[in-house]
Chains A and B, each alone.
Chain A
Amino acid sequence: MGALRRFKVWRGDKAGGQLEDFKVEVNEGEVVLDILHRLQATQTPDLAVRWNCKAGKCGSCSMEVNGMPRLGCMTRMSTFAEDETVTVTPLRTFPVIRDLVTDVSFNYEKARDMPAFAPPSGVAPGEYRMQQVDVERSQEFRKCIECFLCQTTCHVVRDHDENKKAFAGPRYFIRAAELDMHPLDAKTDRKDFAHEQQGLGYCNITKCCTEVCPEHIKITDNAIIPMKERVVDNRYDPLVWLGRKIFRRDQLPAQAPAPHPVVAPRQPPPPRVGTHHIPLGVIWHKPQPDGLEAEVGPDGKMPLTEVTFDRAGAASPFGDNVTFPLPPDSLNYQHPKSDD
C-alpha cells in the first residue's frame, strides 16, 4: 500500500463551494486523476470529474492542480513532494457546473463562429492534392485535443470576463492560422476575421497558452505571432501595400493562387477505343453532387452540442449530403486492371 497524502479538492456548484481536505492513498506511478478516482471509490462517491481516455488524448480531464491548468491524467504524483498538499480546483475561467466539472460552451460558441474550411472552386472532393511542405504548418495545429487549458489560462478572459465577447482565445487562433496557412483554403478574409471578430489584438503574446498546452503546440510562436504579422501585412504595412501596387503582386488580399496544376481543366472525355489498351486513369469530368448546407436553428446558427444535434462537431464544408470516404464508384481514379 502506498503512502497517505494530503489533498484539497474544490467541492460545490454555482451557488458556492469550498476546498475540502482529504487524506488519500497514493501509489507509485499514479496520476492526479487516479487519486480522484480513488476518492470517488472510497470517500466521496458523488465527486464530479470529467474524464475519458486517461491517456492525454481526449482533453476531458482539464483541471487546475496547485493553481496551474493541467490534464489530471497527465499530472504525475511523483512531481509533488511527499509532504506537499495537492490542491485540485475546476477551471477558473468557465462557469462551474459541479465540483471539478465546468461548462465549456464558451469554446464551442467560438468554434461555431469560425468559418469552416472553404473548398477551392473547381476541385472536387477526392481531387485534392497538396504537398507536405505546404501543409505541415497547419498539421501542427491539428494535434490540438481541445482540452481548453490554453483558453482557461489566457489572462485576457481569465482575469477579464467582459472580454469573452470580443476574444476567441488561443485555441481559435491556432484554428485561424491553420486555415489561413492551408494551401487549399479558398477564403481570403481570414486575417480580417482574426482581427475584427476574434480579437487577435487582445493577445499580448505573454505565452501562457504555449506554457500549458499538453500537446506542446507552439501556439504563440507558430500561430498567434504569424497571424499578427499577417494582419500587419493587411492593415499596417504601407511598404507591403506599395510593393503590391507597384509589382501587382496581389498575393495577400486576392484569392489563394490555384495550388498546382493537378486539376486539368474539365474537357470532354477522350473517346474510348477498345477497352483494354487505354488505361482508365483519372476521370476529371466525373459529375459531383452539389453539397447541401447543414440545417440551422431559429437563431441562424448550428446547434452547439451533440445533445441537441444529430452529430458531434460542425457540419461538413463539403455539404451535408457528402460523406467520406467517398464511395469507390464516385472516385475519379480507377486503378488500371492487372492485365492491362
Chain B
Amino acid sequence: MTTTSARPAVTPPAGTRAEIPAKTLRTDRWWLEPALTVLGLTVWLAYGLVHIAMQRWYFAEGPGYSYLTPFYSPCVNNGCVPESAHFGRFVPDWPLIPYALLSLPFLLLFRLTCYYYRRAYYRSFWLSPPACAVPDGHKAYTGETRFPLIFQNLHRYVFYAAVVISLINTYDLILSFHGTEGFGFGLGNVVLGVNVVLLWAYTVSCHSCRHIMGGRLKHFSAHPIRYRAWTFISMLNTQHKELAWITLGTLALTDFYVMAVAADWISDLRFIN
C-alpha cells in the first residue's frame, strides 16, 4: 500500500533545534589534543623565555667552530660577545631587552599568526572550539572579523620577515664552520644544519608563501614555473602542522646544545679540527 503524505510547508516557521541537553555526546578522548597542545606550547615558551632572559651561554667558540643559538641571532645588543655579533651591536644592554631584539618579536609574531598555530591555540587555549562538535567556551563569537584578531590577516608580512630571519640563520650556519683557528666540522654544525633546513621547510610550507608563489593565480597554465613552485609548496604545506611542531623541537634542541657546549657541560663532538 502506498501512503501519500502531505508535503511539508515550504518554509517551516523558524524552527528549533532538537532538544539535547548534553553539551557533547562525544565519547572519545577529545580533550587530549588540546591538553597536549597547551602543555607543549607552555613548556616550550617557558624554556625559551628562561634562556633568553639568562643572556649567557648563547655562543660557543672553539678552534674550529663558533656556534650561535637561533634564540640569540642576530645578536645586536651591546652586551653580546663581539664575535657573536655578525651584524654589529647597537641596542642598549639592559636586562629586559633580549639580545636578538630584531628577530625575536617577528619570530613570535610569525608563529602567532601562522594558520596552524592559530588553529592550535584557538582550540586549546581559547576553547573556540576545544574540539569538533564540542561547544565553544564563549558566549559571543565574531571570529577574525574585529580588532584584534583581524590583524591575523597580516601574517604575510611577518612571513617576509621570517624569510629574512631564515637567511640570517643560514648565514650563522655557514659561519659556524669557522672558529678561532679556521675551518672545522663537528656535531654542532650538524645540529645547526638540521635546524636550518627544517626552519626553511617550515617557512616555505607557509600558507601565505603558497599563495604568493602561485596560489593567487587564476591560470596555472600561463605560469608554468610558478605552477611548479606552487605544487612543491603544496606538497610541503600538507606537512605544515608537523613541521610547526618539529621546528619547535629542533629550535629548543639546537639552543640547548649550544647552551650545553657554551656552558662546558659537554664538549662538542669534533669530526674535523
A130 CB to nearest chain B CB (Å): 9
- Interface size for B (C-beta < 8 A) is 59
A197 CB to nearest chain B CB (Å): 13
* Residues on the B chain within 8 Å of A236, using CB: 153-154
Q: Looking at the complex, which of A32-40, A158-166, A281-289, A329-337 is the stretch in contact with chain B?
A: A158-166
Q: Does B119 contact A (CB under 8 A)?
A: yes
> Do the beta carbons of B132 and A212 come within 8 Å of each other?
yes
Partner of A68, one of B115, B133, B153: B133
**A residues 9-64 with Cβ under 8 Å of B?**
10, 12, 14, 16-19, 64
> Do the beta carbons of A233 and B143 come within 8 Å of each other?
no
Given A97-B12, A229-B215, A206 and B20 touching (CB < 8 A)?
Answer: no
Q: Does B141 contact A (CB under 8 A)?
A: yes
Q: Does B18 contact A (CB under 8 A)?
A: yes
Q: Looking at the complex, which of B24-32, B51-59, B87-95, B182-190 is the stretch in contact with chain A?
A: B24-32
Partner of A204, one of B12, B118, B221: B118
Q: Does B180 contact A (CB under 8 A)?
A: no
Q: Looking at the complex, which of B3-11, B67-75, B98-106, B164-172 is the stretch in contact with chain A?
A: B3-11
Partner of A201, one of B22, B122, B150: B150
Cα–Cα, bound, A208→B132 (Å): 5
Q: Looking at the complex, which of A82-90, A267-275, A313-321 is the stretch in contact with chain B?
A: A82-90
Given A95-B15, A105-B11, A181 and B218 touching (CB < 8 A)?
Answer: yes
> Do the beta carbons of A228 and B132 come within 8 Å of each other?
no
Q: Does B254 contact A (CB under 8 A)?
A: no
A242 CB to nearest chain B CB (Å): 13
> Do the beta carbons of A202 and B237 come within 8 Å of each other?
no
Cα–Cα, bound, A133→B214 (Å): 12
Q: Does A113 contact B (CB under 8 A)?
A: no
Interface secondary structure of A, over-half rule:
mixed
> Do the beta carbons of A67 and B27 come within 8 Å of each other?
yes
> Do the beta carbons of A134 and B219 come within 8 Å of each other?
yes
> Do the beta carbons of A69 and B143 come within 8 Å of each other?
no
Q: Does A77 contact B (CB under 8 A)?
A: no
* Residues on the A chain within 8 Å of B119, using CB: 204-207
> Do the beta carbons of B156 and A237 come within 8 Å of each other?
yes
Cα–Cα, bound, A87→B28 (Å): 13
> Do the beta carbons of A232 and B156 come within 8 Å of each other?
yes
Cα–Cα, bound, A307→B11 (Å): 11
A308 CB to nearest chain B CB (Å): 5
> Do the beta carbons of A95 and B136 come within 8 Å of each other?
no
**Binary per-residue interface labels of chain A (167-209) against chain B in the complex, 1 for a CB within 8 Å, 0 otherwise:** 0000000000000011100000000000000010111111110
A213 CB to nearest chain B CB (Å): 11
> Do the beta carbons of A92 and B141 come within 8 Å of each other?
no
> Do the beta carbons of A202 and B133 come within 8 Å of each other?
no
Partner of B16, one of A19, A96, A204: A96
> Do the beta carbons of A305 and B10 come within 8 Å of each other?
yes
> Do the beta carbons of A229 and B208 come within 8 Å of each other?
yes
> Do the beta carbons of A14 and B15 come within 8 Å of each other?
yes
> Do the beta carbons of B143 and A203 come within 8 Å of each other?
yes
Interface on A for B, CB 8 Å cutoff? Answer: 10, 12, 14, 16-19, 64, 66-69, 84, 87, 89-90, 92-97, 102-103, 105, 131, 133-134, 153, 155-156, 158-161, 163, 181-183, 199, 201-208, 211-212, 221, 225-226, 228-233, 235-237, 239, 251-252, 256-257, 259-260, 304-305, 307-308
Interface on B for A, CB 8 Å cutoff? Answer: 7-8, 10-12, 14-20, 22, 24-28, 115, 118-119, 122-123, 128-129, 132-136, 140-145, 149-150, 153-157, 160, 207-208, 210-211, 215-222, 227, 237-238
Sampled A-B contacts (29; CB under 8 Å): A10-B20, A14-B15, A17-B19, A89-B25, A93-B17, A95-B14, A105-B11, A133-B221, A134-B221, A153-B133, A155-B128, A155-B135, A155-B136, A161-B17, A201-B144, A202-B141, A205-B119, A206-B122, A226-B215, A229-B156, A231-B153, A232-B153, A236-B154, A237-B156, A251-B217, A252-B216, A259-B219, A304-B11, A308-B10
